[in-house]
Structure 1
């Protein structure tokens, strides 16, 4: 053999050697006697390199597959002898061949089998068995050959010609007559000998049994000695997954329906006796996935038998089979609700088919109804109930997939039965009933808000259950879990109250009295505060205006929801603008008065803890006022509701707190948030307050203060644009000086927190410049002193090139592109054209050349894109200018 060419078989060989090896293989394929050289190399073990051995098998494989008929009888005999000799050598080999070589050898044996078994080599398997005996390496190869033969004969993924299909049928028939009983006996001996000493061989053998059982006489496998051995393997951890698969193939075998029912029932009885149906205690999800597949196979096999028996008119046997099916439903549902998708998905087929049977039956028996509802009731104790609640949603979702109608009917029965006598029922059962109703919203395949419209059957069932829920009095049940479940469900199905608004007052009273906001449990009060806010907002068009409320005993977060709710009620009421203003002032005046008192106390407070507590109270007061403004919308603006003056008074009250030297961070944060809301809600009335607020917030500020202040200025600029141009021009450089001062402060190189704060501030600074230029107010920059304009421009160049921050770089190139577009013509500031060529153009090339410019990063790619846009803008702007100058010269 060409030793140089063989070097290219090594995976680490270079491309030239690999190409030479490929060419050599093509050469050997068309050669008349090359296969003999390879056969001799394998038989005499000339080469030790694994890749060369594999290569030799490939050459022989090609000879058998495509050119075997061209060989003489003597040559064909040589092929057989070569393979047997190689197999014999494996019995003495201290180290087994690599797996890929053994698999390839098995494929070659299988090809030779389909070619010669019917004519030249009828003792194929007997010859192999005589060589391998019970030698572990030999058994391994024997089992691999069996799997390769099965793949050649049975594999449905391989497309066979009609001639090959006939040949395969004849091969299987001949095997069944001549050797299958002996092969089955060899499998039993292998399982018996190796089940305790060699798990790998035992699993291989189980795989072979599972593969062959589909086309051999089932009685050879489905007998006492084989089944008992397989069932014993089910209790051995390293064997039970393959044993499961093997039993699945046995159950899947086509056979008489009565015999199939007997087989499945006998298997189930033994598996149940062995404790394998107690899956709650099993934590091996891989095994449970296989076991789920087995249970699915048994269930579907029984359903197939039932269908055949009904079709044949054997109703007695069909009834027996139906009872066998229903005995498996509880196990099926346990597997269906398992949190592991592999386990639950493997049982779906059985679930579908079972529910399909129930649909065919004109009347469901009590047992059949119980089977559907068996998991819709809780366990015997609270510990089981806690675990059950985790599984409930998954169960409903799965059952909804297979039969939404049956699920809806089942939930309705459970719900109505439970609430008929809720006073004498345990809390767990009531909570489950209400939770089932709650979960139907997601389980049933309808869009949001369509639960009470569209499908009349679904709408009427849900509507009936909701009516029962709100009229039954169950909201008074003395258990927090039932109370919370009631209110959660009421809010989830708020669309019900648009259909039956007469129930709203009673539900509002439940929210406001001892069942809700006055409940003894802080946990319940807190949740009800949030749910009440949602409920009122959802019903704002129902024109319900309660005249009372209660907010004592509520935390600050809870009170936020209450203030928001009050705002929603005022804004969406049918009152006049004058009445709304009075109500809003009544709501906010106590906050303003309390704010003034607390601010005075803070200024005088000496103790730091006292200062912090007062600052928190001030912050909450501002937050409550701010939250009320969320009630306004484009259709119900502050001005339309007559509430502008109230909020301006709030601004007048809150802004002086900015000058307080104590607890600045807390107070500024609250006032700044309120300003954000007012910029959104108010019109030009807010503008007079901005300069004073800005002046206070720029005093003694840190990086974080500036970083949070800049978005406020951006918001003002984007909304009011030229209206705030005088203000922007006045505060532009003071803001920039504050930013530059913080950025230039020395910091420890190892202080990552300080470095990050500066990076975020730098980004905020560039975002501010982008807002100014993008809002059509570039004159704010241009009208500054020439020295300041130059400084600003150089900071943009520096941000585009020097800082390894692609987000900031992208923003800088956007600014530069915009400035070129605005100032790049003949009317631009003096000297800007020179600045373009001396600094902007070089920046567009210097930035991508930086080692930190990582094009594998998505943000960097965006920065590069904006860099290119800047260059294009420069080109277009300057070309137009040149053309204009040419025209002017021509006209002169």
Structure 2
């Protein structure tokens, strides 16, 4: 054994040493006797490092997984002897390895067990039971082996093959028939023997019992012998949590509903007699009470499942239904007690029970059995949810950590309960919430922030929880205002937005934006909300978090209510002017108040206001938009002059980021335009074409091209959407600069832009004049650059490089597809024959050789279009020959590949496209194509004459018939 190499296995500081260790590891795995060397090393007398032990076990494990089942009998005996020797020697010597070593040994033993039991190692359990005589180390190994076995034969979370399921069934049946009684006796011996001397072993044994109880006879465990010690252990600090979890597993065992109710109730009786179910919040250990809460939840949900099963029976037993119903009702006080526990983790522990109980009440309500008692329970749940939803004083709003994240998740669970309660009893929830919200908002000045925040948050949540009549919470019957209208009026007019606490402020803004329909009904409330958004409560708040969120919400508020806000346009733009200033790079690329992303929302909101405003003349809009963007242009041009003079790399990057942000701000304002209010109808085309001229200059700079190109590309995408032919003269210049010294990624990102241009302007005369000659000129250089990038070899395990390669391949095929599907085929036809053939062959290669169904579908679509254009008598010279020589074979070869998965939806789409391609050939060549298939091509595929006839007949039929036939034909050919 090369111990020096093995030691490098754990080295994280020297890649060379680690590489040597990995190579040695692979060498031993591949070697016929490498595993035996490791086994002998492990059983030698020398003291071994834990990493050496783990290394050796992994090599042996690899042998067991890959070659053991087919190995020689003496090798199998050698391995079984090694396992026995290791376990006995280590236990005898009292050696206690790290947990990861013990678990790894247990997994190894389990792998051999799965291969050998019961036929080749029928006395397996006799051998492992001998470990119990070797003291605590032996007991530990015994229990870990049992847990590993259970995980492999009984864990329902792990997907299994049919063969594995059959193996596992045989193992479980054999264990139940031959060994279970001795195992159960050993468990009782362990939990009682080691409860004081080695309580961790008793806990591990309780875990084993909980795991095995799912698939053994319940009476072996649910009896006086075990239940009495489980209840006793609930009062022992070192054992109580494990005992609690074990009882929960027993209760969760799948059973017939009446028997399950009886089992659960018997446990509840002994637990109540032992006083376990009423822990004192002050005295009890929190971790135990959390486990106890989960046990209570298991008790409740088990009873509810039993009741549900009984009620769904064809002829339910009324007596059993009544017993189970009474059992459920008796657990409600426990549910309320634990849900209301001051520890949120305890409360969370019974949330599943609470949710299922509310579902149960819904079922009761649907059959008219929702009575006063159940309504009282629902009201009690609602009261607890409201109180538990409130923040406590320890919540840190400025620096949120794990505790804060946990509480946020807990709130989500409470929200689910709240929503379900609203579905159960709409009137109750709306009535109680109205009282709580109204009272709190009327007294907000004298209320703690927790109460105020909760009131506003529940007002927000009511929007989802309570259904709205006519699809609008603010349209009632007659003149009487709806409850939601009353509450929103109170929220907006009571002054609570000035409370000052971050949580209250944020939820105020979240709520007014959530209910923008209220302001459409009562627009006179809009000004006071706008002022709140723009002053120190919102956009100018001292908290960066509030400012950031408010930018987004303000933008949404403006966009939703722009028809009611246009009269305030100039005032709003003036009030946010200081927030629109682009910061110099020396400020760390931030303004004093906002991040760059925050600013984008404000630029968009400002543009929306300007474009949607109703001034008497369009000139006013143009002027306001220029005033909005001119400072951006001026700042950009200043950066443009400055960037070439910067020598420091970090400063260069900072300036380029500022330039990119300036472009992004301008680009974001274009989102204000729509099909009804275009740049042309608004009269601002020149504003954006002037901006385009300025921004394109950035592409001529040698520095930071990755950042600048990305920003310019995004702006061009927006201009193609928003401008008409005015953008086209800029495309060739922009494209040439974007493709100068292009790498794989820049080519990949350029293609969607050119595809967008082709798709939008294909019929424009300006396109024919400006773009087609340009495409004809750059087509082969671009294609060559793509081929060059694709030719660069990638490392086999470099998934990122392989993904980028696949994306580039798809982009290339989409580029060709954009040309042929938009009838710009003169771009291809103008290329020389050699170049044209090169391109056509890449399409064939994409259809056949790349195991990428998305790309294959695109390629077949391209080939079909080419056949439609050039497959007839008037087509391009040489194309018909290419069609028979390459396109038609591709339609057969691709589906016959092993990688062509006919069970995959994307692959079926590719097959459909290949079928349409063959149909296109038939439509262009008619009987000539049928004759070619009959006499030349299909006979080479070893297809019978009858199949050839059937194939040609299907090809002549409708497309749908042929597509269905082709799938069957390919399945038969592959079988």
TM-score by length of 2: 0.60
1:731 aligns with: 775
Q: Secondary structure at the match of 2:792?
A: coil
Q: Give 2:885's match in structure 1, choosing from 830, 838, 850.
A: 838
Name the CA shift for 1:754/1:331 in 2 (closer, same or farther; >3 Å).
Answer: closer
List gaps (5 residues or longer) in structure 2: 1-117, 120-169, 186-205, 235-239, 309-327, 396-402, 580-591, 931-975
Q: Distance in 2 between matches of 1:880 and 1:725?
A: 38
- Rate the CA distance shift 1:464–1:834 in 2: closer, same or farther, 3 A: same
1:585 equivalenced with 2:622 (yes/no) = no
Residue among 624, 646, 667 paired with 1:626: 667
**Quick one: structure 1 residues 769 and 242, their matched pair in 2 at CA, closer, same or farther if it must change by over 3 Å?**
closer
1:464 Cα offset (Å): 1.4
2:339, 2:350 within 8 Å by CA — same for their partners in 1? no
Matched, 1:741 2:781: no
Q: Answer yes or no: is the 8 Å Cα contact 1:622–1:674 preserved in 2.
A: yes
**Is residue 2:590 matched to residue 1:549?**
no
Taking structure 1 as reference, are residues 408 and 715 closer, same or farther at Cα in structure 2, changes over 3 Å only?
A: same
Cα distance change on mapping 1:757 and 1:360 into 2, 3 Å: closer
> Shift in Å at residue 291 of structure 1?
2.2
Question: In terms of mean alpha carbon deviation, does 547-556 or 515-524 score higher?
Answer: 547-556
Deviations 1:822-849 (A, max 9, x none): 1111211122222211222233233344
- Picking from 416, 419, 444, the partner of 1:422 is 444
Shift of 1:869: 2.0
2:485 aligned partner: 463
Displacement after TM superposition at 1:382 (Å): 2.7
Q: Which residue of structure 2 aligns with residue 566 of structure 1?
A: 606
Pick the aligned partner of 1:431 from 453, 463, 473: 453
Equivalence map 1:297-308=2 (5 Å): none
Superposed, which structure 2 residues align to 1:224-235 within 5 Å?
Answer: none
State the partner residue of 2:463.
441
Give, in angstroms, the shift of residue 768 of structure 1.
1.0
Separation in 1 of the partners of 2:917 and 2:667? 42
Partners of 2:887 and 2:815 in 1: CA distance: 20
| C-alpha separation in 2, matches of 1:138 and 1:648 | 83
Matches within 5 A, 1:839-854: 839-854=886-901
1:624 deviates by 0.5
Alignment pair present for 1:870 and 2:917 = yes
Deviations 1:150-186 (CA, angstroms, capped at 9, x unpaired): xxxxxxxxxxxxxxxxxxxxxxxxxxxxxxxxxxxxx
What SS class does the counterpart of residue 824 from structure 2 fall into?
coil
TM-superposed deviation, 1:196: 15
Shift of the alpha carbon at 1:486?
0.9
Aligned length: 669
Corresponding residue of 2:753? 712
Equivalent residue for 2:426, pick from 393, 404, 424: 404
**Equivalent position of 1:374 in the other structure:** 384
* 1:807/1:863 contact within 8 Å kept: yes
Change in 2 beyond 3 A, CA 1:872/1:204: closer
* Distance in 2 separating the partners of 1:748 and 1:372: 63
Secondary structure of the residue aligned to 2:680 is coil
Residue 860 of structure 1: CA displacement?
3.6
Shift of 1:527: 0.9
Report the alpha carbon displacement of residue 596 of structure 1 after superposing the two structures with TM: 1.4
Taking structure 1 as the reference length, the TM-score comes to: 0.65
**Alignment partner of 1:661 out of 675, 695, 702:** 702
Q: How far apart, CA to CA, are the structure 2 residues paired with 1:270 and 1:423?
A: 45
Take 1:841 and 1:566, find their aligned partners in 2: how far apart are those partners? 57
1:829 counterpart (868, 873, 876): 876
- Residues 103, 598 of structure 1: alpha-carbon distance in 2 compared, 3 angstrom cutoff: closer
RMSD: 4.8
Tell me if structure 1 keeps the 8 A contact 2:296–2:334.
no
Spell out the pairing of 1:315-330 with structure 2 (5 A cutoff): 329-330=336-337
Contact 1:326 1:371 in 2 (8 A): no
- In structure 2, distance between residues paired with 1:288 and 1:735: 71
Q: What is the Cα deviation at residue 778 of structure 1?
A: 1.4
Q: How much does 1:437 deviate?
A: 1.0
1:611 aligns with 2:665: no
Contact 2:382/2:418, CA 8 A, preserved across alignment: no
Distance 1:294 1:850, change over 3 A: closer
Contact 2:291 2:349 (8 Å CA) reproduced? no
Equivalent position to 1:820, from 843, 867, 891: 867
Report the equivalent of 2:855. Answer: 808
For residue 432 of structure 1, report the CA deviation from its aligned partner: 1.2
Task: Give the distance between the partners of 2:845 and 2:207, measured in 1 at CA.
Answer: 74
Measure the CA separation in 2 of the matches of 1:457 and 1:382.
43
User: Any idea what the Cα deviations from partners look like across 1:2-46, whole Å, max 9, x if unmatched?
Assistant: xxxxxxxxxxxxxxxxxxxxxxxxxxxxxxxxxxxxxxxxxxxxx
Provide Cα deviations, 1:183-222, integer angstroms capped at 9, x if missing partner: xxxxxxxxxxxx99999899989769999xxxxxxxxx9x
Cα pair 1:797 1:840 within 8 Å, conserved: yes
Please give the alpha-carbon distance, in whole angstroms, between the structure 1 residues aligned to 2:230 and 2:500.
55
Mapped contact 2:335–2:353 kept (Cα < 8 A):
no
Extract unaligned runs of 5+ from structure 1: 1-48, 51-96, 106-134, 141-194, 212-220, 254-259, 301-320, 884-892
**Separation in structure 2 between the aligned mates of residue 297 and residue 799 of structure 1, nearest angstrom:** 54
- Structure 1 429/345 Cα, relative in aligned 2: closer, same or farther at 3 Å? closer
SS of alignment partner, residue 777 of structure 1:
coil
Residue pair 1:233, 1:240 contacting (<8 A) in 2 also? no
Question: Residue 347 and residue 645 in structure 1: after superposition, are their counterparts in 2 closer, same or farther (change >3 A)?
Answer: same
SS at match of 1:495: helix
Q: 1:24-63, aligned counterparts within 5 Å? A: none
Q: Displacement of 1:659 after TM fit?
A: 1.4
Preserved contact between residue 629 and residue 677 of structure 1 (Cα < 8 Å): yes
